[in-house]
């Protein structure tokens, strides 16, 4: 039986070491790149606070408002920020609040009237970072979230808003009848 020569064994060990170093380098590069992509989303702060004000209708009671705070602490612009709110146990779809793009070191506050403060109000911020990636942050946990349920809820809110807009801009039946009569007489 032949024994390996010392030079061949050293070459083999060197090749394994170089391969391991390349794989480790690629892994570290990928990890740093993923951290860089999430860096802007991590520098966006979202939180909720509660505000009580005397009711306009009854001075002895107070109206409750949820104040939804969005602050951009990153160096880049936050594009198309939207806040979606809904009550999980309620059959209603929810609301969408569109904001202007948030420049670096700026903040925005949205007030949402709350009928019953004991009911859980779900609030999610959706925005695009400077690379065009869409992020979702939960206002309650202040964490980036990934979930099909949240995406489905946001799609339902957008569809309901489009349906409502279509109903608002639908011409009355009398106008449609007049337009049809004019088209027939021409």
Beta-sheet strand order (sheet of 95-98)? 95-98, 79-86, 122-128, 134-138
List all residues 6 or more positions away from 124 whose beta carbon is below 8 Å from its beta carbon: 83, 84, 85, 136, 137, 138, 139, 145, 150, 154
pLDDT category at 173 given cuts 50, 70, 90 is: low
Confidence (pTM): 0.59
| Percent of the chain residues topping a pLDDT of 70 | 69
Residues of the chain with pLDDT > 90, as a percent, come to 0
pLDDT higher than threshold 70 for residue 172: no
Whether pLDDT at 181 is above 70: no
Task: Tell me how many degrees the CA angle 81-71-31 measures, rounded to the nearest 5.
Answer: 80
């Amino acid at each position: 039986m032949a024994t390996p020569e010392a030079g061949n064994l050293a070459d083999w060990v060197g090749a394994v070491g170089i391969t391991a170093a390349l794989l480790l380098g690629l892994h570290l590069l990928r990890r740093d790149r993923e951290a860089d992509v999430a860096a802007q989303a991590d520098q966006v702060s979202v939180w909720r606070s509660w505000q009580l004000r005397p009711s306009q209708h009854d001075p002895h009671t107070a109206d409750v408002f949820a104040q939804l705070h969005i602050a951009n602490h990153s160096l880049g612009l936050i594009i198309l920020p939207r806040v979606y709110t809904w009550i999980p146990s309620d059959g209603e779809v929810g609301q969408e609040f569109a904001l202007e793009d948030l420049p670096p070191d700026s903040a925005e506050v949205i007030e949402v009237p709350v009928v019953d403060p004991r009911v859980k109000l779900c609030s999610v911020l959706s925005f695009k970072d400077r690379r065009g990636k869409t992020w979702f942050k939960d206002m309650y946990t202040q964490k980036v979230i990934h979930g099909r349920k949240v995406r489905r809820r946001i799609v339902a809110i957008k569809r309901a808003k489009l349906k409502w807009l279509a109903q608002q801009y639908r011409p009355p039946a009398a106008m449609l009848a007049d337009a049809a009569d004019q088209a027939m007489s021409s």
